Amino acid sequence: MKIFDTHAHLCDSSFDEDLEEVLNRAVGAGVCKIVAVSEDLSDARRNLQLSEIYSMIRPAAGLYPDNPDQTQAQEMVAWIRKNRARLWAIGEVGLDFWIAKAPEDRELQANIFSMFVDLSLELDLPLNVHSRSTGRHVIDILLARGARRVQLHAFDGKFGTALAAVEAGFFFSIPPSVARSRQKQKLVRNLPLSCMMVESDSPVLGPEAGERNEPANSRIAIETIAYLKGETVQIVAEEVYNNSCRLYGKDIG
């Protein structure tokens, strides 16, 4: 079984002491590639460094929506342009109305997200998108701006909200928390397998609430999807891996 963990925070301080052991456990579980997303410029730089040390890491760069600052966003855009050849995705980026309550903060988030959507089109890089409590708003922006290569990570909305994204050819990455989340279980039952990928979102969204999550647990996401869809683990593993390769489409071997 080959597993592509399409969203993990390997720069998180919880991995400072044992990242190599974490990655070895991932390999043991079948994980062969991990998209390492960033929350800020420091993470983005670190992801490039990690990708030089560990060949399984695919670096991404983005500004988490709890950093709604135009100056930081412009600096990130410039850095992504400069390092485009080494990056696998722009992410994570998006909206989060659980964080942003005031209308002006939400507008700023939307403006910054729109910048990154436009950049993904300019550079032909996939978008690795955060959309907590904002599924419909995120999808509306993506469609309005003509986004093409899109991953909606850990989507927390209903299938009815997701349907327009499915029809647009966007992908949904499912974390190991699907083993305990009724919302994600219901989403998986309704989503076609052809638009699903898996992620760990390490160190959060693991199969057990409150415990540090690791890329190896992406396998649990696959096993749970297989159970929910009534398919074999092998069929689901192959499908979600191929979907990931379809989206990322760069040196996928």
CATH number of the domain that residue 211 is part of: 3.20.20.140
Helix (H, G, I), strand (E, B) or coil at 96: strand
- Examine residue 238 and state whether it is found in any structural domain, yes or no: yes
- Examine residue 136 and state whether it is found in any structural domain, yes or no: yes
- Examine residue 226 and state whether it is found in any structural domain, yes or no: yes
Q: What's the mean pLDDT in 63-87?
A: 95
Tens of pLDDT along 128-156? 999 999 999 999 999 999 999 999 999 99
- What residues have CB less than 8 Å from 66, skipping those under 6 apart? 39, 96, 99
Q: Report DSSP state, residue 178.
A: G
Q: Is the pLDDT of residue 75 over 90?
A: yes
What is Dmax (Cα atoms) for the chain?
48
- What residues have CB less than 8 Å from 79, skipping those under 6 apart? 41, 44, 61
Kindly state the percentage of the chain with pLDDT values over 70.
98
What pLDDT shows up at residue 253?
46
- Examine residue 26 and state whether it is found in any structural domain, yes or no: yes
- Examine residue 219 and state whether it is found in any structural domain, yes or no: yes
Please give the Cα distance from 52 to 193 (Å, whole number).
Answer: 33
Tens of pLDDT along 202-253? 999 999 999 999 999 999 999 999 999 999 999 999 999 999 999 998 544 4
Q: For the chain, first and last CA: distance in Å?
A: 14
- Examine residue 195 and state whether it is found in any structural domain, yes or no: yes
Please give the Cα distance from 131 to 152 (Å, whole number).
Answer: 7
Please give the Cα distance from 87 to 48 (Å, whole number).
Answer: 8
Question: What six digits make up the tokens of 139?
Answer: 């999808």
Range of the domain at 227: 3-248
- Examine residue 253 and state whether it is found in any structural domain, yes or no: no
Residue with tokens 């040390």: 53
- Confidence band of 92 (pLDDT split at 50, 70, 90): very high
Report which residue type is found at 216: A
Please give the Cα distance from 56 to 99 (Å, whole number).
Answer: 32
Whether the Cβ atoms of residue 86 and residue 51 lie closer than 8 Å to each other: yes
What pLDDT shows up at residue 217?
98
The total domain count for the chain is: 1
Please give the Cα distance from 208 to 26 (Å, whole number).
Answer: 17
